[in-house]
Amino acid sequence: MKVKVFANFREICQAKTVEVPMESGDRVIDILESLIQMYPALEEEIFTPERTFKPFVHVFINGRNVIHANGLETRVQEDDQFALFPPVAGG
In angstroms, the CA 30 to CA 76 distance is 10
Residue 70 identity (one-letter amino acid): N
Share of the chain above pLDDT 70, in %: 97
| Residue-averaged pLDDT of the chain | 95
Q: What is the pLDDT, as a whole number, of residue 87?
A: 86
Rounded mean pLDDT, 35-60: 96
Q: What is the pLDDT, as a whole number, of residue 9?
A: 96
In angstroms, the CA 65 to CA 36 distance is 20
Burial class (CB in 10 A: 0-12, 13-18, 19+), 79: exposed
